[in-house]
DNA sequence: AAGAAAAGTTGAACCAATTCTAAAATTGAG
DNA sequence: CTCAATTTTAGAATTGGTTCAACTTTTCTT
């Protein structure tokens, strides 16, 4: 099963991602030429295109890793949320936002978001949409959990509220990465303020 | 003031926009080559780049016209809104959505949105962000109007609720243009459902 | 272990957006 | 009217992502 070819393939994948990650951060997405990524990864240009359909898909692979980490970190909050609705939401959203710039710069996020709307049917476009859906689901799961505990009224349409909260947060995050001078604390405060009416409405 | 040069300039602007609009619709954004736009507009490639910084800015000019029409259409609703909160919001959002595909195809919207996140500081990127802000303001204005009439509780944070509603709608619209098979009635129904909790909460 | 088939690699060639430069057109001052 | 300054134009050159046909390497078969 694990022949030479398999190992070489995995190794080349890793080398390409490592090279691309470094160059994206050093030179920006546009500044990271395919040729430079190829030579740093010690493969040819053609090989890169054998592994990834286009430049965007390389970035896509990096984004997926980041978002999956975020989803993992969020699971803890859903499992045992803070004891009031506002804090619970703020904690989960806080995890998303605070983790978001670990591996990706704002510029990388901008490019990733742009590509995902530009080419929604590319591998990356589909993967990105799927990740968004999972984040939405996780927020809805938190609300369901809060309903179980009795902190949220049982007659509330949890999935709809989850979508509303995610969509608002996501849009705010998009505006956040579009402005280099924007700061995380202000972003979180703005989202808290927007959620306040909703929190009051769904709380038991 | 209105010398030959002025008139020629305005005329060339118009010819470029007309040619680009036609070609974007016929061949899609990517398919519309600058060379083709130039020859259809009877100007040179260099001239196009003298008038617009890049291909995206040409699309940007078209988007601006469309969104400004939408904003205009929305003014009527804000001035004399339907007599209940849910219908008022649905009517305004309906106008936005129903007008959105008059001049722009889904593919053109995707490109426009992508460029606006990719290059937030380009002329188009800034214009697009400003248009979003105006739409947000218009929704907030509607809520303020409903507060005046006594349909929305006076203690509600109108601007925050306006942002929440706009951001959710916008995100839903992004997902809508990403899927060619998505239909307007389903989009509107989904947004109505998401807004329902909010409408119940802010209504007097 | 040899040879054939399958899978993967390579980089030069291609294509379209953008930049650059020299030539042409328009304007306003004298 | 003439001419120098300024703006605009044309289209060739540049650039960088992507494709493709020839070549290598690995695996499979006997």
Instruction: Look at residue B12 in the predicted model and tell me its pLDDT.
Output: 85
Give the Cα separation of B99 and A65 in Å (integer): 38
Query: Whole-number Å distance, CA B6 to C1' C6?
Result: 66
For residue A203, give the 3-state DSSP assignment.
Answer: strand
Region B104-116: what's the mean pLDDT?
A: 93
Taken in order B175, B176, B182, B184, the sign of the CA dihedral is positive
Stated length of chain A: 204
Q: Which residues of B113-146 are buried (b: 16+ CB within 10 A; e: fewer)?
A: bbbbbbbbebebbebbbebbeebbebbbbbbbbb
Instruction: Look at residue A4 in the predicted model and tell me its pLDDT.
Output: 66
Residue among B187, B165, B94 at smallest CA distance from A165: B165
Instruction: Look at residue B5 in the predicted model and tell me its pLDDT.
Output: 63
Give the Cα separation of B53 and B30 in Å (integer): 17
Give the Cα separation of B183 and B42 in Å (integer): 38
Q: What are phi and psi of B203, to 5 degrees?
A: -65, 145
Instruction: Look at residue B1 in the predicted model and tell me its pLDDT.
Output: 41
Cα-atom radius of gyration of chain A, to the nearest Å? Answer: 19
C-alpha torsion A118→A94→A143→A73, nearest 10: 80
pTM of this prediction? 0.92
Spell out which residues of chain B touch residue A196, defining contact as CB-CB under 8 Å.
Answer: 157, 160
pLDDT band at A6 (very low <50, low <70, confident <90, very high): confident
Instruction: Look at residue A2 in the predicted model and tell me its pLDDT.
Output: 58
Residue A70 has pLDDT above 50, yes or no: yes
H or E segment to which residue A115 belongs: helix A106-118
State the complex-level ipTM.
0.90
Instruction: Look at residue A186 in the predicted model and tell me its pLDDT.
Output: 98
Give the Cα separation of B26 and B153 in Å (integer): 49
B122 CB and strand D closer than 7 A: no
Residue with the larger pLDDT of the pair A29 and B1: A29
The string of pLDDT tens digits covering residues A144-180 is 999 999 999 999 999 999 999 999 999 999 999 999 9
Instruction: Look at residue B2 in the predicted model and tell me its pLDDT.
Output: 47
Share of chain A above pLDDT 90, in %: 91
Spell out which residues of chain A touch residue B115, defining contact as CB-CB under 8 Å.
Answer: 114
Residue A27 has pLDDT above 70, yes or no: yes
Chain B 63-102, CB < 7 Å to strand C:
none
Instruction: Name the residue among B171, B193, B195 with its Cβ closest to that of A170.
Output: B171
Instruction: Look at residue B46 in the predicted model and tell me its pLDDT.
Output: 86
Query: SS in 3 state form for chain B?
Result: CCCHHHHHHHHHHHHHHHHHHHHHHHHHHHHCCHHHHHHHHCCCHHHHHHHCCCHHHHHHHHHHHHHHHHHHHHHHHHHCCCCCHHHHHHHHHHHHHHHCCCCCCHHHHHHHHHHHHHCCCCHHHHHHHHHHHHHHHHHHHHHHHHHHHCCECCCCCHHHHHHHHHHHHHHHHHHHHHCCCCCHHHHHHHHHHHHHHHHHHHEC
Residue A99 has pLDDT above 80, yes or no: yes
pLDDT band at A1 (very low <50, low <70, confident <90, very high): very low
Give the Cα separation of A194 and A74 in Å (integer): 21
Residue among B29, B36, B191 at smallest CA distance from B105: B29
Contact between A38 and A45 (Cβ < 8 Å): yes
Residue B154 burial (C-beta neighbours within 10 Å; 0-12, 13-18, 19+): exposed
First vs last C-alpha separation in chain A: 56
The string of pLDDT tens digits covering residues B53-85 is 889 989 998 999 899 999 999 999 999 999 999
| Cβ within 8 Å of residue B32, ≥6 positions away | B20, B23, B24, B26
Instruction: Look at residue B43 in the predicted model and tell me its pLDDT.
Output: 87
| Cβ within 8 Å of residue A108, ≥6 positions away | A24, A25, A29, A59, A62, A63
Region A73-96: what's the mean pLDDT?
A: 96
Residue among B131, B79, B69 at smallest CA distance from B101: B69
Chain B 5-34, CB < 7 Å to strand C:
5-6, 8, 30, 32-34
- Token couple for B92: 């305004």
Decide if A168 and B171 are in contact by the 8 Å CB cutoff: yes
Mean pLDDT of the residues in chain A = 94
CA distance A161 to chain B (A): 6
Query: Whole-number Å distance, CA B88 to C1' D12?
Result: 58
Region B93-100: what's the mean pLDDT?
A: 96
For residue A32, give the 3-state DSSP assignment.
Answer: coil
Mean pLDDT of the residues in chain B = 92
Residue B13 has pLDDT above 50, yes or no: yes
Instruction: Look at residue B31 in the predicted model and tell me its pLDDT.
Output: 87
Residue B44 has pLDDT above 90, yes or no: no
CA distances from B84 to A134, A148, B130, B203 (A): 34, 33, 29, 8
Instruction: Name the residue among B114, B164, B201 with its Cβ closest to that of A168.
Output: B164
């Amino acid at each position: 099963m694990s022949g030479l070819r398999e190992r070489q393939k995995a190794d080349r994948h890793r080398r390409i991602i490592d090279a691309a990650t470094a160059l994206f951060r050093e030179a920006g997405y546009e500044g990271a030429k395919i040729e430079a990524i190829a030579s740093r990864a010690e493969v040819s240009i053609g090989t890169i295109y054998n592994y990834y359909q286009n430049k965007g898909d390389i970035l896509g692979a990096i984004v997926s890793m980041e978002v999956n980490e975020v989803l993992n970190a969020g699971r803890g909050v859903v499992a045992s949320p803070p004891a009031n609705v506002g804090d619970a939401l703020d904690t989960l959203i806080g995890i998303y936002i605070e983790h978001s710039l670990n591996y990706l710069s704002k510029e990388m996020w901008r490019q990733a978001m742009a590509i995902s709307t530009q080419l929604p049917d590319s591998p990356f476009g589909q993967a990105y949409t799927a990740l968004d859906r999972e984040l939405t689901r996780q927020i809805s799961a938190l609300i369901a959990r809060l309903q179980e505990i009795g902190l949220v009224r049982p007659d509330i349409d949890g999935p709809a509220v989850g979508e509303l909260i995610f969509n608002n947060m996501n849009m705010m995050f998009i505006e956040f990465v579009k402005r280099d001078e924007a700061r995380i604390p202000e972003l979180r405060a703005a989202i808290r303020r927007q959620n306040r009416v909703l929190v009051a409405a769904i709380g038991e």
